[in-house]
Structures are given as structure tokens and as C-alpha cells.
Amino acid sequence: MSTAAPPPSLTLHRSSVTSAARVTAAATAAPGNAAHLSNLDKLFRNRGASSVETTSPPATVSPVLGTKRRKQPLLRLPSFLTRRARGAGEDPTTSSAPAMSPRRLERLLQPVAPDGPSPRGNIAATWRRLHGEDGWRGLLDPLHPDLRREIVRYGEFVDAAYASFLSHPDASPVAGGHGHHRLSPPALPDAAYRVTAPLFATSSVKLPPWLATAAPCAAQRTSLVGYVAVCDSPGEVRRMGRRDIVIALRGTCTVLEWAENVRAGLVPATDGNNSDEKSSPETTSPAAAKVECGFWNIYKTAGEHSPSLSEMVVSEIRRLLEQYKGEELSITVTGHSLGAALAVLIADELAGGVAGEANAPVAVFSFGGPRVGNRAFAARAEARGARVLRVVNAHDVVPRFPPANLPLPGYADVGRELRLDSRASPFLRPDADVACCHDLEAYIHLVDGFLGSHCPFRDNAKRSILRLVKNQGGNVKQLYISKAKDLRIQLDSADMPGPMMLGRAGDMAGAAASTVVECVH
């Protein structure tokens, strides 16, 4: 049981001592939100006026982030699932928010925090625990700082998988599956890693010929779904205590992937790692390991010019294990939404096959993932050595599907759960809609601020909230949108605030790139 931390300070930073004293005194005399926000508004206006009179603001303080949205072959979230931004004349006092130093807010609204991410500690002695060797016992609540940093980092790898697909939405492997036409590797969030292979997934569903002719973009069966990367920095290998191989997977982004998602029937999960799976009649029994039909199809279906996702992953991991034979290795599979489901399937197959043979531990860090299979499948994956940590927002509906009691004996969760609550964020509205609750950027934001189930949001979190403001403008408290505008951070009117697409917006290239979106399972 974690110890409750003291509530976050309501005073401002020392850099504005005089103004801080006035705000604190006013708050003491009139403790309402209206009085507090009125004083905070005056503080911002005064600071902005002085900066205009004395000198122009630094370039790092006022980046130009508004760009036109590129059209992408993605699905828009139905309007009833999105939140339209509140009107310009809305009273900001209706959006309660904790007091925050102007400098801290300014820093959090930068594309990248000036003081960088959380410090990288040496984890060579503890990486196995952080990788789930003992089921993350004692590390989740309260959340260990090193584990928090690892989870955020793997979430950013998934972010790069989305950006890669959105940069090449029509990419496809060439004949034989060994080359890829005009496909540049994604910009990874960690320069210590390099991409070794892109990954493609193929849907087993086909559109009728007449519909495929009318909408060729929607008929694309094989799409870029992620990549394999390996840590290639000797210094980082020493810091982490091993060479890490990462498999990162995006969520649903195409019409045919959506069609697969709704195929919730259970099918036998026969990956061939156990000889008794290949022909045993027990594979059709109620107690056999079974998984969702749609996920299994996406994982095991081969394309016209490429092997299945399963074959691509196993082949590349086998090659890397052979290349780095004799070294301390780990395999980390990470994904969001549909990618989280595929990550569990990959971990199950690798742990029971090539990774198990090479004694390379396999761990999964999933974000907003749905249930994958039945209880027998969960037991098999864990028995094989796949360690799964599911990061779940309490208000995200996707991890609740498919329902545990449908069909009988039903679906079961795999591994351990790190439960977050979007209502704990001081930046998000308590009634944030389903788009925000499932958004990858929102997930990473919540992990970065999570201390424990009985603790307030981490007041020294350093991750920028700029992309959160851009992605989920209608779900961010109006105070922060107003302050972003006060700080002269230009927000594209087409992107924020307004109807939100389901998923994260942003880019891996920095503040000047166009807004992109991800889709939900």
C-alpha cells in the first residue's frame, strides 16, 4: 500500500516572489477558483506586457506549430464519440485547475522540455526486475521512477510506429518481403536504437470488387504496422545492462483492420511451437488456448508479396539473436490498442520459440490493449515466460473488450495491470471523452505523472503537454488552452480546439511537423 503524498503546492515558483505572494494572499482571502484564476490571469498578462515592452520573446518560447493537416486514408471517429471545444466566450472559472507557476506552465508547453526528460539512471543491476522478472512486484504502486521512465520510452517507440505509417500509408513490401519500396526508417525517440526491419500486417478480409474499385485506399490489405529496432550504442548497452531489441506496433488505422477487430469469436492459437498443437484434437476443446479471430488473422495472414507478420517477426528476431549471440539480450514488445493485442501474440510465440531457446527474456509493455484470448491462452503465455504489463486507463473502454463472459468460457487478461486514471491529471477535464481516454499521448502523459493510486499527479513531471493540448484540445481544461495562446504558441485552428480524431496527434520530427492521428482498436 503506497503512502499518500502531500497535496501539490499551491504556491508559485520563487522566480516570481512578489507576484507569488500576492496570488497566495488573494487565495487565502478568497479561496474560490474565480479569485485564483483572476489573479493568475493578471500575472500572465503583466508578464506578457513586460516582455513586449522590453524585448521580443525568445524563439524557444513561441514556436510556430500550426500547419495544415495532410489528408490521410484514416477513419474519422463518429461525431458522437468526440467532444467539440467549448465556445470562446466560456467562463474560464468553470474549469478548475491547480495553481501553477507561469514558468513551469511555459516549460510544459514547449515541444521538448528545456531540461530534458527524466535523468537516465544506470539500471544494469535492476533491468531484469524492470523487465518483469518477478512480475513487477513492488514496482507498480507506487510506480518506481526507473520503471516510469522505461514505460514512457516504450510508449514513444509506439508513437514512432504511428508516425511511420502516417508518413507512408500506402507502403507495401516488394516481392519476396526482403525489400521495401521507398520506405525510410522512422525517426526513433531514442538515438541509441536503430531500425533493423519494418513490419507489415495483412488483413484476411477483402472488400467486394465493386467497392474496392470505388475506394482503392480502403481496400489495401497489407499495411505498415511497426518495426523492429535494436540498441546499437555501447554506452547505452552498458547503462541498461543488456542489448535491448524492441518490437513496436501501432493500433488500428485502416478500414480492413477495423473489420478484423469486430470478429470476436475465439479460434485455436496454434503457433507450432508445441508439437502437440499441430494435430491434437485438444486444440478444439474448450480448455485449449484460443484467441480473438480478427487479431489472429492479422497476425497470421500472409500478403500477396510478403510473409505474415508472425513470420516477419520470428525471422528478424532469429537473425538478431544469431547476430548478437553470446551477449546479454532482452526482447521488448510494445504496442497500443490493436498493436497491444498483436504484442501479446508476438510475445507468446517468441517466448515459446526462438527467444526461449536463446534465453532472451520477452516482456510486453502495452497501452490501452483489448483482451486477446481465453484463460488457457493467458496461462500458456505466462507459462512460456512472456511477461506482460498492461497500462490501462480506468476510463478507457477498449481494455474492457471483448467482454470477459462472451463467449463462454470467455476472455481473460494476460499479465499484470498498471491502472491509471485520466481524472487524476490536472490538465484534462474530468469528463474527458472516449477519444481522449484511449489516446496514446494521453496514456504517456498519465504514466509520466503517476506516482501511486493514492497520490496526486506528479508535480515535477517534465514531459511537454503541448501535443496533449493539440491532440485533445476539447478535453484539456480551458485554462491551459488560454495560457498556451497567452504564451504566443500558435495552434492550428483546424486542429485545436475542434472535433478530435480518435488517437494522438503530433509528430516525431518536432514542433514544425504537421498534426497526425492514430486510430483506436
438 as an active site residue: the answer is: yes
Q: Are strands 329-336 and 243-249 parallel, antiparallel or unpaired?
A: parallel
Residue 468 CA to residue 427 CA, distance in Å, equals 9
Say how many Å lie between the first and final Cα of the chain, rounded: 33
Would you give the DSSP letter of residue 418?
E
Residue 86 CA to residue 259 CA, distance in Å, equals 33
Q: Please report, for residues 86, 148, 368, the alpha-carbon distance to residue 447 in angstroms, rounded to integers and kept in the order given.
A: 27, 7, 12
Q: Please report, for residues 110, 489, 509, the alpha-carbon distance to residue 63 in angstroms, rounded to integers and kept in the order given.
A: 8, 6, 14
Which of 203, 230, 233, 231 lies closest to 218 in space, CA to CA? Answer: 203
Residue 349 CA to residue 351 CA, distance in Å, equals 6
Containing H/E element for 425?
none
Which of 362, 419, 361 lies closest to 390 in space, CA to CA? Answer: 419
Dihedral-angle region of residue 167 (phi above 0 means left; psi in -120 to 50 means alpha; beta otherwise): alpha
Residue 277 CA to residue 268 CA, distance in Å, equals 9
Phi then psi dihedrals of residue 168, to 5 deg: -135, 65
Q: Please report, for residues 12, 329, 370, 376, 435, the alpha-carbon distance to residue 383 in angstroms, rounded to integers and kept in the order given.
A: 51, 20, 21, 10, 35
Q: Please report, for residues 193, 315, 351, the alpha-carbon distance to residue 506 in angstroms, rounded to integers and kept in the order given.
A: 21, 32, 34
Q: Please report, for residues 208, 263, 341, 398, 399, the alpha-carbon distance to residue 372 in angstroms, rounded to integers and kept in the order given.
A: 28, 12, 6, 12, 10
Which listed residue (131, 180, 336, 438) is catalytic? Answer: 438
337 as an active site residue: the answer is: yes
Which listed residue (337, 422, 464, 514) is catalytic? Answer: 337
Q: What is the largest CA-CA distance in the chain?
A: 81
Binning the chain into helix, strand and coil, the percentages to the nearest 5 are 35, 15, 50
Which listed residue (146, 244, 348, 396) is catalytic? Answer: 396
Containing H/E element for 448?
helix 440-449
Would you give the DSSP letter of residue 450?
-
Cα 455 to its chain centre, rounded Å, is 22
> Alpha-carbon dihedral of residues 150, 155, 159, 162, nearest 10 degrees?
130
Residue 500 CA to residue 474 CA, distance in Å, equals 7
Single-letter residue type at 108 = L
Catalytic residues: 337, 396, 438
